[in-house]
Structures are given as structure tokens and as C-alpha cells.
Structure 1
Amino acid sequence: MFSTTQVFKGWAAALALFGAFAAAQAAPEVIRIGVATAGGGDPVTWGGSPGGVARNQQWLEEEFKGSGTRIEWLFFKGAGPAVNEALSNKQIDFAYQGDLPSLVGRSNGLNTRLLLASGTRNNLYVVVPPKSDIQSIKDLKDRKVSIFRGTNGHLVAINVLAAHGLTERDIKGVNLDTGSAQAALVSSGVDAAFGGSEWFKVRDQGLARIVYSTQGQDPAFTRQAALLVHGDFEKAHPAEVQRVVDVFVRAAKWASDEKNRDALFATWAKSGTPAASYKAEFENQSLAERNTPLLDAFLLARYKAVVDDALKLKLIRRSVTVDDWFEPKYLRAALRKQGLENHWTAYDAKGKPVAAGGASVAAR
């Protein structure tokens, strides 16, 4: 027979062993972050997002140094749709992704949570060869036009066409990724292309001309990007999710400081896109407005509008909710911890500043 003391010691040892096992399981061996762009540079990185700052400065690697957890960045030439596939196959734990593809993933049953904004109000441009007779959006009718379908630029392109009395059927759309679109335009394989700030480099080389820009127009014609986490990873590793969000918020603060404007563009330029391109993309625009991490009413409204438009255009088969998809608790904790609760201006659904004291993150 065992004495009470022996039984107690046995249980204590077992509990200690279980606790050690649980602790070992708590820290993942690797955190895999998928980025919806092919990126560039060595090591591969990207620009236009505070996430690119965290990548370049290796702040996540610094955060998890000594914890036994390594950081792995994966870049996808196939952009948002390829990221969705990786999420579906559980090949990544976090995703930097645009609004439309992330909502397509959600409509297809992907288990994700949207944690914070990471690059808002991204502009869209239409470029043509230098000697093209195309001068406006209306001139795109019956022309061969590159559109990277399934990305967050796709839906904005459709809305821009609609604002000028055209539909996607009025153009001869060609589905090309960024690199292929540039090659096609330069070689006259297409008559025009929709795209982002990557086209400034081509323009500055004298190989393209911009005939349309969303800069200074209705923010409804801009694109949003965010950091998402796979629901299974969040459930298993909430502490690690918080640490990742903390780093992204730190990067957002640095990327929002006007004193760092030149340094920010130089950092992003390590991706292969010249600093001059980012200077042009952000001309007359506040860094804080573009690099805010807030889940404010503007971001919520834009994602809801994307759901409505995507459903109408049959880009998704069923409607999905957004309010319960946004998960602001990690962002709230990060803002509180870093003393940044009032650092960024929140915007209303129309993109106008909210009065002091207005809600800065989604109410959940």
C-alpha cells in the first residue's frame, strides 16, 4: 500500500511532468508568415506595408530569439489566391493579404481571423505604352487590358471601370501577375494594365505612361491589406499571436513617423522597387493615414463593401460576415502595452477623421 505522502508526491511529479510537456507544446517550433507578393531582394522582402519594416529589421526574429521558435517568411508570386491555398493546406500560420482574396478565402470556409490593418488606402493606376492613344479609362473599351484577377486590385479596377460607364466585359481582360503584366505592356502584348506603385519604376524608365490614378479621389477606390492568422494557430498559440501583433504595431508606429519618411522608403526599396516609386505613391499623403494598424470604421466598411461587390459580381458564391471576423483584442492589448491608444486617427466609414474619443478599433 502506498502512503498518502507517496501518492501526493506521485501526483505532484505527474503534474510537473504534464506542465513541462504543456509548456514545451506552447511554443511552436516555427511561425510561418505568408506574404501575398513575390517580393524581391536578398533576403526576399516587400514594401508598401509596415510588415515590410518588421521583415527588413528582423524584429520578429529578435522578438522570438532564444525562445526556440524560428520565423519563416514565404512569398507568393500568385498573390492572394496562392496565399489562400497555403492557408487551406495549413502551410502558413499568418498571412499578409489584400481585402478581396482574404474575403474569398473566408467565403470558401477558411478559418482565419483578421488582426490588424497593414497598409491601407493603396492606390490603383492604369498604365499604357508611352505612345499609346489611350488617354482615359473610357478609352479602354475593346482594348486588351491586364488585370491580376483575384487580388485586391481586381475589384477596385472593376469599380473604376463602372465609375466611367464600363464593365469588365467591355474590355479584353487578360489575367497576368505583376511581372508578366510589365513584360506584356513593354512588348505591346497588352494595350493597358491596372496595377500599383510597382508601375512607377516602369514609367520612370520611359516605358509606360500613367493615364489614371486613384490618388486624391474617393477612398472607396483604394485597396486595403491586413494581417490574418489561421484560426487553429490562434487557438493553440494565443501568446505567440500577441507577440506577432506587438511587433507589427511597433513597425506601424515607426512607419507612421514622418521623420522616418526617407528611411522608410529606403527600407522598402530593398524589395527591388525604387524609393522614388514609394515617394510617388505616397505623395501628399500622411504616413500615419496609410500605415495605421487600426481596425476602425473605415476598414470595416471597406471590407463589407468588398463582400457586397464580390457577391454581386459573383466573385464569391455566398455572403460572409465581417464584424465577427475582425479580432481586435490583440491589437487593443498591443496599443495599450506600447502607450499608443491615441496615437493614430480613426476614420469613419466614409474615410473622414473621427472626433477625439471615437472608436479606433472594431467593437468586440
Structure 2
Amino acid sequence: MGKKSRQRAKNTTTVTLDPADLVNVGQREPCPCGSGKRFKQCHGRERAQAADTFVVRPFEGLPSECDLIAFREIVPSGTAEIVLTADAGKDAAGKVVNLVTLLPMAMPGLVRDDESIWIGLQTQASSGDPSRDLGHAITAALHTEPGNPIQLGDLMKEGPRLQDLIDTSKPIEVKVHEGFDFWVGENVEDPTGEVAAGLERANAAAAPTVRLESVEGAYWTQIGDRRYLRWVLPHSEDTLLDALARLHAAGSSALIEGSRLIGSFRALGVLAPVWELPADTEAADVEKPAADFAVALDKALATEAPLTTEERAAKAGLSSRQLTIR
């Protein structure tokens, strides 16, 4: 090693930074490590590496995984409360965070005047790991003054994921709303009527959606004059398709008379089968049929025999019908 290289090595000090200190650092600002370099040329490089990371099943291991996926992908209006652990940061233990399907202008989050934290699941930009996006937003919220939206900056490589911030042994209670009235708190002044007008537009655009109570991850919805059941299931794709193919080949894939399994869509590492329902079907009409189907599906999932010719044909048909129903 040459003299200059030895001198650089001698003067180099490894600095460990708290990820929370990097949340709002701009790319052209001096790096907080004290290197004298711009952030983008120093620790900011780790952010770019984090943005390239793709996680196939980002919510795996979280309670209510299927509901969180549904809230991110298909449910227009819903909320879920999570409670942070001490791992989230100083004074964070026990703090409640509200995960919501959508916030105004698809903002990533905000801290209200009452210090409550609201984090959006459906945002305009994200990395390849939505769980880390949420962890990053929560970290930013803990350092945001009340009454302000969250300013995220870029994603941190070493930043926490949602699994790191909550007790994964406790269930997450989710709630579907008819509209977005939860966007505004009580006693909100609206002298110009802009808030009311914005809410009216958002509520009008939300497709009626109901979460079934008899099973997890299943949502009845009305889109236009058609009605569907979209059911996010936690099984591996190939295993689930085998089970659905067995039921379909046996003529047992319908939920109720007049319904039909029309395909499925991939969402964050799992499949969500979709049934088209008769036009007059209400959510309550499929509660018991869905519970009965869950029993039949569990039996089919436990079957280890190779697929028959008819079942293989049914699987090929189901595999080819990937849907987008929003």
C-alpha cells in the first residue's frame, strides 16, 4: 500500500449512524457522519441499494398478513391499529399507529395535531419491500412535529421493517369503512367547504366493500353493476392452485348457486382467487358458503395424491386466468 493510501486508511474512522438520523437528510446535504461528503456520495448510497431490494412476500410473518395485503391492493377504505414495541425507538413502546388504506393525495403519512400517527398503505411510490417502506414511514413519523405530513426522503438500507417494530404474536384488528370520513378529526373547521367537497369526491369513488366475518382475508365488493368476492389466501401459489384445481374439477369451486371462480390475481407473494357473484348477492349471503368452502379447501390442501388429468387441465385454466379487478 502506497504512502497516500496508508495515510487515508489511518485517517478513516468508521461511524455508525442511527437510521432515525437519516430520515430527512437530502441527497445534496452534508452527510451526518461528518465525512465532509454530500450525503448521496456517502451513506446515501445505501439508500439506493435498499431501493433495489425486492422481497417477494414482504408481509410474511405479520399477523393479519392477508388483510394487510388486501388493504394495500384492493380495499378502498380501511384502518388497522398497530402498537409499537421498544424496538421502534426511544419512547415509542406502546404507541399506537394507524395503518390506513389511503390518505389524501396518496401521501405516505401524517402526524395529526393530537400527535396520532397515520400511515398510508397505498402510496404513489415505494421500493421493492413494502414492509420496509412502512417501517421507514413510521420512523419518520416518530420524528415529525404534530400537524405535519411525513417527509420521507429516500429509503434507508438498514432501516427497520414493519416486522421489527411490532409484536407479531398479537393480532391486528382491521376495519373497513364505507368512505374516508376518518381522514378528518372531530371539530375540523372547513370555512370554504373544500374539505367536505374533497371527502364527497373520494367517497363517491370508493367501491362498496365488506370484509367477511366468517373467514379471514375475504372481501365482498360491488364494482359497477357486478359483484365479486376477492379472497386473499396465505398458501404458496402452487399448493393453492392444486387445491383449487381439485375442487374445480369436482364441480365444487362455486361459492353459491350462480357464482363462478373466474381466476385469481397475485398480490405481494400470495394469490387471491376471485369469484363473480349473482347480481343481487349481498355480503351476508356468502358468509356461510365461504366458511363451508374454507373447510373443503383445507381438505383439498391436505391431499397429497398427484393431480388427475382433469385436475391438471383445471389447474392450467386457473393459472392462465390472472385478473385485475380494482
Q: Same fold (TM over 0.5)?
A: no
Q: Identify the TM-score tier after normalising by the shorter chain.
A: under 0.3
Decide which structure has the larger Cα Rg and report it. 2
Relative contact order, CA 8 A, sep 6+: which one is greater? 1
- Judging by fraction of residues, say which structure has more helix: 1
What TM-score does the superposition give when structure 2 sets the normalisation length?
A: 0.24
What TM-score does the superposition give when structure 1 sets the normalisation length?
A: 0.22
